[in-house]
Amino acid sequence: MSRTRLARCVLVFGAIVAVTGCFTSTAEFREEAETFIFDEVTIPGEPDVSFQSATCEEPARQEPGTVFGCTAIDDEGATWTFDVTIEEDNRILVSVSDRP
């Protein structure tokens, strides 16, 4: 899939999604997580859920194991919370940590 300047592969397992790309700063990890949640996250068992907005914290660092949080507002105005884990230099894992 190619959507912005970053090419990526998407793997879906339950409510966990892995994203790969070319991230060179903490801001790019944050931006990519926001864009991915807004544009591409689908919730297994809830195919009609889509998001109006997504906002993420900027991770403190880029090292594997770093976790940062995101929130997203769905089309009905409910807030979802996501944990994003940097798995390696160019890969993040997005998982639902709290759902309405």
pLDDT tens-digit readout, 34-82: 999 998 888 888 888 999 999 999 999 999 999 999 999 999 999 999 9
E-strand spans in 40-88? 51-56, 67-74, 79-88
- Which run of H or E residues covers position 19? strand 16-20
How much is the pTM? 0.77
* pLDDT band, residue 19 (cuts 50/70/90): low
Q: Compare 12 and 67 and report the one with higher pLDDT.
A: 67
Predicted confidence at residue 20, as pLDDT, reads 61
Q: Please, are residues 56 and 30 in contact by the beta-carbon 8 Å criterion?
A: yes
65: tokens are 């194991």
Among the listed residues 14, 44, 31, the one whose alpha carbon sits nearest the alpha carbon of residue 70: 31
